[in-house]
Amino acid sequence: MALALAVPAAVKAELPVGARAPDFATQGALAGKVLSFRLRDALRHGPVVLYFYPKAFTQGCTLETRAFAEAHDQFAAAGATVLGLSADDLPTLQRFSTEACGSKFAVGVATPAIIRGYDAALDPRGLPPGAAARLPTGLTGRTSYVIAPGGRITFVHSDLDYRDHVRLTLQAVRALRPVRRPVR
């Protein structure tokens, strides 16, 4: 299964830039401890990078999550909160939050309603032949959103190849901050 999730594939349309991000509340984990997360509350503190990944502890998902953890200080310096979402259960996410996230940011449960709201379901049509039959149902694709404090989506990147998600979302978060020029 890890190989199938690391192969780039077409996924169905995600929410467009400019759309209002659906508010949601979910359970998740940070540093192995259970927490509640509500998008509306996080947006009060700055932009949110919301990234969906198919399955904890698979190769591509673990590498992507470690890359987000390595860039955590850069996201924090830009004022952003990072949250990873998958359809994994809470005990799995508790382990993943320490082992892959390095206890840097939270991962949460992508409920069926959240997956529908963000149009984040994995589209098996782009997967290699036979791969879709081996995958569990209810997985999310790999889609990253940057949501501005006002609740609008300002950036979307949807690609099962994990490698560009961190770089592109960090660029998008930094673009939200006004450039301060010295007064002359």
Residues recognised as catalytic: 61
Cβ proximity of 86 and 56 under 8 Å: yes
Query: At 163, phi and psi to the nearest 5?
Result: -65, -30
Assign residue 3 a region: left if phi > 0, alpha if psi is -120 to 50, beta otherwise? alpha
Token pair listed for 99: 């082992």
- State the SS3 of 97-148: HHHCCCCCCEEEECCHHHHHHCCCECCHHHCCCCHHHHCCCCCECCEEEEEC
- Give the span between the Cα atoms of 184 and 179, in whole angstroms: 15
- Residues 41, 44, 50, 55, Cα dihedral to 10°: -30
